[in-house]
Amino acid sequence: MFFERLELLLREEHPSIRAYLPEREHAPDALLTVDLDEALGRFQRERVELVARLRKLQPSDWQRRAEHEEYSHYSLFILFRHVVMHDMLHAYRIEECLLKKDWV
Instruction: State the CATH number of the domain containing residue 44.
Output: 1.20.120.450
- Candidates 57, 52, 66; CA nearest to 8 is 66
How far is residue 93 from each of residues 2, 63, 70, 87, 96, measured CA to CA in Å? 22, 31, 25, 10, 5
Q: Residue 84: which domain range?
A: 2-99
Residue 104 included in any domain: no
Work out how many domains the chain is built from and give that number: 1
How far is residue 82 from each of residues 34, 36, 45, 64, 74, measured CA to CA in Å? 23, 23, 19, 15, 11
Residue 21 included in any domain: yes
Task: Spell out the per-residue pLDDT of the chain, length 104, in tens.
Answer: 889 999 999 999 999 999 887 777 778 887 788 899 999 999 999 999 999 999 999 999 999 999 999 999 999 999 999 999 999 999 999 999 999 988 76
Whole-structure pTM value = 0.82
- Candidates 97, 88, 93, 79; CA nearest to 5 is 79
